[in-house]
Structure 1
């Protein structure tokens, strides 16, 4: 049976500040036929390296607008997809559609469809919760990691900050996303905050936003725990690529303490770049983060 989903009108995405990339779509992905998935795809298709930029909640690929130009200037290909329920991707209306596997399997299929190679995984928030579980199953595809405020959820809560956020999210079925982004990232202009809210004309488009916090694996029996535990072991024992970590120090949910735990999980991960003024959405300081990452990788 087809999944009932909403599609944000294209006009909502007109004149977004700092984000004039042409949209790309696939609507026949294996297992997701009929659902339109959006991704940014810039730079040479045959580039030596590809940066796969994965966003989290409640954002979309717009989050990477300050990092994409730096990666492109290095001669790379940059792919920034929108999870189903976010951005320009279709938005299933039934909360029950959303699960860890629903999202993870979609991204694995998209990576295969786009034939991505020599990938640097760039991830934050749910982009890491899901994205960090993928390289172990595609080790020949991924060569480097840029990781920002995120975690691997292995059956316990990330902490009191997350518990408070989850409780708040439950009270906001029609969350004011522009206001939320402005509170969490005061450097945003009103137009930039509005761009984050552009995908969501009303509450019926926000099932994905509502559900992501509920899916974080805070107890051992939740879907995704086993995969995440396997991923943690893989990053600790089998990862051989270069890594770069940036941390927004003002993040009350996935800040320096949680990121240090993750850093110790990732084999060979150096000391992080700590941004004293940044919060959860580190990509809003994306240009210096991306430049520092390229420098650490020996490209600058």
Structure 2
């Protein structure tokens, strides 16, 4: 599998990002690729927060939540999907499939032997991450979920269709510019950090592919896996949950999240971030503190 690797110098001195990189290059099934992840806090902590980013961001998205989790005494692990962040970026669009990414996460969790996991997810971090606990239920005991869904082959609406078409027709679309438009509170330094993984369009196969992979038709790859996950959340989930919603998200906002709230057994009423958009982690310090208080960690 041909892949590109973003030079380290593009990640130097990023705003509010003091974390040393960690890499895996021997994951079963991914031996030719190097995966990057953040791993902070004590390895024997009572709780491990597994933070999964989405499209077109990377683990930098969690920079406002990570310090709050660490202050509670927890371990925080935040991997970059292949094609994003500091992880290697396969250049062939066809290499990106639902199970390519999902199996990576399963192998990653097993390699690090993560336990007592609090799953923290949004966007594709949820589309993929919410399908993991039914596969390894003994490893997960809590959930923080934001602006995402479980995709089981239903149409996603005009807003998502317009986004999918835009990406399909803009192969080198400006990632930082998109983040700024959807999250106007970002500074120029933060916009640059979101652009850092992508020196040019050849690094953006993952960015191009993720919107096309969302399961909006019942015949698409990942639907059956997601249906199993949905049943797990509806019937078998026994852990604590916390939901936060960026209310300005035009696609995965209040209506989509209310549906998801009803699917997660025991999920309490969501926290609403009135000014928050799709990338609601940009209001993450407040969300993290509220979730920790809900869980009784602080």
Contact 1:248 1:281 in 2 (8 A): yes
- Give distance in 2, aligned partners of 1:111 and 1:160: 35
- Give distance in 1, aligned partners of 2:37 and 2:156: 29
Q: What pairs with 1:147-158 in structure 2 (closer than 5 Å)?
A: 147-158=145-156
2:235 maps to 237
Q: CA-to-partner distance for each residue in 1:239-288, whole Å, 9 max, x for gaps?
A: 00000000000001100000000000000001100101000001000000
- Give distance in 2, aligned partners of 1:70 and 1:95: 36
2:35 maps to 37
Deviation of 1:198 (Å): 0.2
Q: CA-to-partner distance for each residue in 1:96-117, whole Å, 9 max, x for gaps?
A: 0000000000000000000100
What SS class does the counterpart of residue 191 from structure 2 fall into?
helix
Deviation of 1:161 (Å): 1.4
2:78 maps to 80
2:269 maps to 271
Long gaps (5+) in structure 1 = none
Q: What pairs with 1:38-187 in structure 2 (closer than 5 Å)?
A: 38-187=36-185
Deviation of 1:159 (Å): 2.1
What SS class does the counterpart of residue 136 from structure 1 fall into?
coil
Deviation of 1:157 (Å): 2.0
- Give distance in 2, aligned partners of 1:291 and 1:37: 29
2:195 maps to 197
2:278 maps to 280
- Give distance in 2, aligned partners of 1:157 and 1:285: 29
Q: What pairs with 1:202-213 in structure 2 (closer than 5 Å)?
A: 202-213=200-211
TM-score for both structures, normalised by structure 1: 0.99
Superposition RMSD in Å: 0.5
- Give distance in 2, aligned partners of 1:280 and 1:293: 18
Long gaps (5+) in structure 2 = none
What SS class does the counterpart of residue 86 from structure 1 fall into?
coil
What SS class does the counterpart of residue 105 from structure 1 fall into?
helix
2:12 maps to 14
- Count of residues paired in the alignment: 298
TM-score for both structures, normalised by structure 2: 0.99
Q: CA-to-partner distance for each residue in 1:101-155, whole Å, 9 max, x for gaps?
A: 0000000000000010000000000000000000001100000000000000000
Deviation of 1:227 (Å): 0.5
What SS class does the counterpart of residue 137 from structure 1 fall into?
coil
- Give distance in 1, aligned partners of 2:137 and 2:272: 28
Contact 1:158 1:258 in 2 (8 A): no
Contact 1:247 1:274 in 2 (8 A): yes
Contact 1:40 1:78 in 2 (8 A): yes
